[in-house]
Amino acid sequence: MKMYLISLGAGLLVGIIYSLLNVRSPAPPLVALIGLLGMLVGEQAIPVGRQLLSGTAFMAACDKSNAISHIFGQLPGRQAAKKVEVTEESNS
Tell me: the pLDDT tens digits for 65-92? Answer: 777 777 777 656 655 555 555 555 555 5
Query: Using one digit for the tens of pLDDT, what is the confidence trace for 24-60?
Result: 777 777 877 888 888 888 888 888 888 889 998 988 8
Provide the pLDDT confidence category of residue 8 given band limits of 50, 70 and 90.
Answer: confident
Alpha-carbon distance of 55 to 74, in angstroms, equals: 28
What pLDDT is attached to residue 48?
87
| Helix (H) or strand (E) segment spanning residue 90 | helix 78-91
From the number of C-beta atoms within 10 Å of its C-beta (0-12, 13-18, 19+), residue 56 rates as middle
What pLDDT is attached to residue 53?
92
Instruction: Supply the DSSP symbol for 10.
Output: H
What pLDDT is attached to residue 86?
55
Alpha-carbon distance of 18 to 10, in angstroms, equals: 12
The dihedrals phi and psi of 76, each to the nearest 5 degrees, come to: -60, 135
